[in-house]
């Protein structure tokens, strides 16, 4: 009696969540790559569930030499108010010049808003792109252009998703008026939560800051 001998190879398959953990990206990033044709699932069920193979995992991690989907550099530029639009344009030009000189493929995200406002449209867009695995580098002119307080949290987020932050000028350089405006905003937020004497004290502090800021602007340099 003759027997046909054959080897059955069992292929390990991963759900989109499991595969994302294996290669260090979010499920949303995998969905985006699928839509753009950069990394298609090995199998899609009738219900639309994506499955990825162990071979794809190995290829992505470089075991079989597959190149990862291309990521870009983002130049992020910010000023605090519409009065600083000229400053914003100069900032954008400086950041562009820096990235062009290094041959980066880049886009620009710009914001007009306080450095202590975490809900700015541009900043939200930047964070979404970072967590989707779309950004290789974030280039900023000064450290405080990204965010006034909590920079370390953004830096940690970037490290988690393999995004590097490049600061063109690492010296601490903040316009005095802009810093005063941020301080006024901080005190205003806290004073709204206070009552009685403490609220009056906070309001007095805001008034003094605003008066000091106004007096500084009105000063004329001596001949």
- Residues linked to residue 75 through DSSP beta bridges, in sequence order: 108, 139
Query: CA 85 from chain center: how many Å?
Result: 22
Known catalytic membership, residue 15: no
Q: Among residues 53, 80, 81, 124, which one is catalytic? A: 80
What does the DSSP 8-state code read for residue 132? Answer: T
CB 39 within 8 A of CB 69: yes
CB 74 within 8 A of CB 108: yes
User: Of the candidates 115, 180, 117, 175, which has an alpha carbon nearest to the alpha carbon of residue 145?
Assistant: 115
- Structure tokens that stand for 215 in this block: 């007096």
Paired sense of beta strands 43-44 and 72-79, if any: unpaired
Report the catalytic residues.
80
């Amino acid at each position: 009696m003759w027997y046909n001998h054959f080897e059955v190879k069992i292929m390990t398959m991963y759900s989109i969540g499991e595969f994302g953990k294996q290669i260090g990206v979010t499920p949303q990033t995998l969905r985006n790559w699928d839509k753009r044709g950069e990394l298609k699932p090995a199998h899609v069920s009738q219900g639309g569930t994506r499955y990825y193979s162990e071979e794809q995992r190995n290829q992505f991690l470089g075991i079989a030499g597959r190149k990862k989907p291309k990521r870009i550099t983002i130049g992020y530029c910010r000023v605090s108010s519409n009065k600083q639009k000229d400053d914003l344009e100069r900032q954008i030009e400086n950041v562009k010049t820096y990235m062009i000189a290094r041959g980066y493929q880049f886009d620009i995200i710009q914001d007009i808003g306080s450095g202590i406002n975490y809900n700015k449209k541009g900043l939200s867009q930047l964070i979404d792109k970072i967590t989707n695995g779309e950004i290789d580098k974030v280039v900023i002119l000064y450290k405080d252009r990204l965010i006034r307080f909590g920079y370390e949290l953004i830096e940690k987020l970037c490290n988690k998703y393999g995004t590097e932050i490049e600061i063109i000028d690492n010296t601490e350089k903040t316009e005095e008026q802009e810093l005063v405006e941020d301080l006024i905003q901080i005190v205003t937020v806290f004073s709204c939560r206070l009552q009685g004497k403490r609220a009056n004290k906070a309001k007095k502090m805001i008034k003094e800051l605003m008066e000091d800021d106004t007096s500084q602007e009105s000063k004329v340099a001596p001949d």
